[in-house]
């Protein structure tokens, strides 16, 4: 291996040597665990006897489990632990205290406390441990003991009230933004505690939750409410307070145009053949355009729908106006930009392909090192001591 290749390899696996125990299921904790694993950590996933529920979230199924599970659990070891068996639970506690740097868990509220696998208990035995709870509603308050899932939190946290078209029912964002966002916050919190440990020599308990993540995703809209006292209506594909800034039907598809400044609006007006809009007192600046958005959007809708997406992309890009076609997943995956970035990665030891982490180190994107584990494939890592 050349020195350059070695540097690339080290740069893409900065967490080599870090041991992470994942007491997780579904999406949030597994996504956090996968981030650690993709960046080089040794991640051990603890599963019940019938496995993470996400293994069965299908059809379709892909090489023995659902695509949901497979896309969240590469680069991990799977250990089955019977949490009703005190001998196996004690073996797990001992393994954590002897080997683990970080524990991440999203079991139902109160469960880890009953098992003696909670942060306070484990840190009493191993003060250097970093323990991260991924809860539903947070670690305090009247709802702290309630479970939660992504769609519930999109609803409760205000996200669904902002999506969809005015006058129509609320719409969930299709991607699991609350679950996966909470997994990202868990990693940020754990790494912050890890950095602190280098100075203090001590770990700590980190708390993140689905509800807190959901509220963060609507923080810009919340700021508008705090400033005005008015709850913003659904914006469809648009954005409250910025006009023109939404999607339009074309003759053969859909296109988003983001002319979010006065200069960009002037370029847009010229491109669509209406330079007189530039001096129209109803459109002279963004506050005026917001005030008259129904009128402006009605005129733009009628113009954009008359020609194909490719025409508008070419003309708008020539004029420097930001725009993008509304791609489906297949179109996104096939785009040359996706290919150029190496975003879709093959998984060693399988025929599966997944979207990689959205981060690179010195131009190198971390790459999967191993396929998702079969259920209990690595149980001897922890349970071998029970057989002695």
The pLDDT value given to residue 12: 65
Reported as half-sphere exposure (CB side, CA atoms, 13 A), residue 373 has a value of: 21
Dihedral sign for Cα atoms in the order 325, 329, 335, 339: positive
Dihedral sign for Cα atoms in the order 30, 36, 39, 45: negative
Can you tell me the distance from the alpha carbon of 46 to that of 138, in angstroms, rounded to the nearest whole number?
Answer: 23
Dihedral sign for Cα atoms in the order 67, 72, 73, 79: negative
Can you tell me the distance from the alpha carbon of 21 to that of 43, in angstroms, rounded to the nearest whole number?
Answer: 6
Q: Give me the domains of the chain, ranges plus CATH numbers.
A: 3-217+346-387 (3.40.50.10540), 245-249+254-325 (3.30.1540.10)
Can you tell me the distance from the alpha carbon of 324 to that of 255, in angstroms, rounded to the nearest whole number?
Answer: 6
DSSP-derived letter for residue 21 is: E
Question: 169's torsion region: left (phi>0), alpha (psi -120 to 50) or beta?
Answer: beta
User: What is the side-by-side order of every strand in the sheet holding 245-249?
Assistant: 245-249, 254-258, 323-325
User: What is the side-by-side order of every strand in the sheet holding 102-105?
Assistant: 76-80, 42-47, 19-23, 102-105, 130-135, 205-209
pLDDT tens track of the chain, all 388 residues? Answer: 333 333 344 446 889 999 999 998 999 999 999 999 999 999 999 999 999 999 999 999 999 999 999 999 999 999 999 999 999 999 999 999 999 999 999 999 899 999 999 999 999 999 999 999 999 999 999 999 999 999 999 999 999 999 999 889 999 999 999 999 999 999 999 999 999 999 999 999 999 999 999 999 999 999 999 999 999 888 888 888 899 999 999 999 999 999 989 999 999 999 999 999 999 999 999 999 999 999 999 999 999 999 999 999 999 999 999 999 999 999 999 999 999 999 999 999 999 999 999 999 989 999 999 999 999 999 998 876 544 4
Residue 244 preceded by cis peptide, ω within 30: yes
- 245 three-state secondary structure: strand
The pLDDT value given to residue 216: 97
Question: 40's torsion region: left (phi>0), alpha (psi -120 to 50) or beta?
Answer: left
């Amino acid at each position: 291996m050349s020195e350059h290749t070695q540097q690339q390899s080290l740069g893409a696996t900065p967490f080599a040597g870090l041991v992470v125990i994942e007491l997780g299921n579904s999406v949030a904790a597994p996504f956090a665990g996968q981030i650690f694993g993709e960046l080089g950590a040794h991640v051990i996933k603890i599963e019940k006897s019938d496995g993470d529920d996400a293994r069965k979230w299908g059809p379709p199924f892909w090489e023995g489990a659902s695509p949901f599970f497979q896309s969240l659990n590469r680069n991990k070891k799977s250990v089955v632990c019977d949490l009703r068996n005190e001998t196996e639970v004690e073996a797990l506690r001992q393994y954590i205290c002897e080997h683990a740097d970080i524990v991440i868990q999203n079991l139902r509220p109160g469960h880890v406390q009953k098992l003696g696998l909670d942060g306070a208990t484990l840190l009493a035995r191993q003060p250097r441990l970093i323990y991260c709870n991924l809860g539903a509603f947070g670690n305090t308050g009247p709802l702290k003991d309630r479970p939660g899932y992504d769609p519930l939190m999109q609803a409760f946290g205000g996200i669904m009230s902002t999506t969809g078209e005015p006058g129509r029912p609320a719409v969930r964002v299709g991607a699991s933004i609350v679950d996966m966002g909470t997994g990202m916050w868990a990693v940020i919190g754990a790494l912050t505690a890890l950095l602190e440990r280098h100075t203090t020599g001590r770990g700590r308990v980190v708390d993140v939750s689905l509800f807190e993540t959901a509220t963060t995703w609507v923080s810009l809209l919340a700021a508008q409410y705090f400033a005005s006292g008015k709850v913003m209506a659904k914006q469809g594909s648009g954005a409250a307070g910025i006009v023109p800034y939404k999607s339009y039907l074309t003759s053969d598809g859909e296109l988003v145009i983001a002319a979010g400044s006065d200069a960009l609006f002037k370029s847009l007006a010229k491109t669509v053949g209406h330079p007189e809009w530039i001096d129209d007192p109803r459109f002279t600046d963004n506050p005026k355009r917001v005030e008259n958005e129904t009128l402006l959007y009605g005129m733009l809708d009628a113009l954009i729908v008359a020609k194909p997406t490719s025409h508008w992309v070419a003309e708008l890009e020539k004029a420097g106006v930001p725009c993008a076609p509304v791609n489906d997943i297949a179109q996104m995956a096939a785009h040359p930009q996706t290919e150029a970035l190496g975003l879709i990665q093959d998984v060693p030891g399988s025929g599966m392909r997944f979207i990689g982490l959205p981060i690179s180190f010195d131009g190198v994107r971390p790459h999967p090192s191993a396929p998702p584990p079969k259920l209990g494939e690595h149980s001897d890592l922890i349970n071998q001591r029970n057989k002695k």
